[in-house]
Structure 1
Amino acid sequence: MATADPYGPVHTAGNAVPPLDTDLAGALEDLAGVHEGIDLIRDGIRLLALDRHTSDTTQTLLATLAGSAGADIITAVGHLVARLANADHNPALRNLPLDAQKQAQRHGEQAAFHLNDPDLHQPASEASAAITGT
């Protein structure tokens, strides 16, 4: 005879990870087919959204995604934008007129600057800290 689970049932409808909400599902759908790398990112986001996490992994994910300026995904995306917008790092831009190259580079650098602004990362950092109680 099986003994009763002292922690109660965990595989119940109320304990299931809900499906993607329409905002996230729509955003992921809008990114479909742009590039294989974007599809991999979409798959990763979908996995993170639908996977079952502990409070510890949730805290770590919040910090890793957007809560640690200089060492999170948003920071990496900012650096990637700057790299892709720079003809020195992206040969596809080298055929553009020099003015267009410089303008693209300047806007890429501005995007990286804004995406690396600590104020942008603060809410996710605070959400992460709220989980650990710090």
Structure 2
Amino acid sequence: MATADPYGPVHTAGNAVPPLDPDLAGALDDLTGIHPGVDLIRDGIRHLALDRHTTDTTQTLLATLAGSAGADVITAVAHLVARLANADHNPALRHLPLDVQKQARRHGEQAAFHLTDPDLHQPASEASAAITGT
């Protein structure tokens, strides 16, 4: 007995997942070869963009990527930026003059502050909620 396909009848031209749009493809291409960790992030974004999703997984992904301030990917990136810009956490910066270290740390903290602003996350949260009708 065949199990029901959770995605419905997907083997039609109208149900094909389209290729990446030029903006997303270009942004991913621009990140090529910077660091193996960034390559993994690029691969993950590409996989998420080209994978077939249910409405439930789409709703969850929207919240997880950018719609849940304090507990989403954007928040994790914000904290990573602050960490990388801080000589206390990034030994690569410790040889720099103290005023440069302080400036880098301040800018990293400002980036994290702005990236964790709940207003930045609100549209993705609302997109997620719109899917579930809440």
Q: Which category describes the TM-score, using the shorter chain as reference length? A: over 0.9
Aligned equivalent of 2:30:
30
Residue-by-residue CA offset, 1:11-43 (whole Å, 9 max, x unaligned): 001100000000000000000000000000000
TM-score normalised to structure 1 length: 0.93
What whole-Å deviation, never above 9, does each CA across 1:58-79 have from its counterpart, x for those lacking one? 0000000000000000000000
Larger Rg over CA atoms: 1
Whole-Å separation in 1 of the counterparts to 2:119 and 2:98: 34
- The DSSP-based 3-state class of the residue aligned with 2:96 is coil
Q: Which runs of 5+ in 1 are unaligned?
A: 1-7
Q: For residue 80 of structure 2, what is the aligned residue in structure 1?
A: 80
Percent sequence identity over matched residues? Answer: 89
Output the TM-score relative to the length of structure 2: 0.93
Structure 1, residues 82-128: CA drift from partner, whole Å, max 9, x if none?
Answer: 00000000000000000000000000000000000000000000000
Distance 2:100 2:106 in 1: 10
Counterpart of 1:114, as a letter, is H
Residue identity matched to 2:48 = L
- Correspondence 1:1-134 to 2 at 5 A: 9-134=9-134
Task: State the AA in 2 paired with 1:106.
Answer: R
| Distance 1:94-1:45 versus aligned 2 partners, 3 A rule | same
Q: Which runs of 4+ in 1 moved over 6 A?
A: none
Query: What is the count of residue pairs matched by the alignment?
Result: 127
CA–CA distance in 2 between the matches of 1:80 and 1:66? Answer: 15
The alpha carbon displacement at 1:10 in A equals 2.6
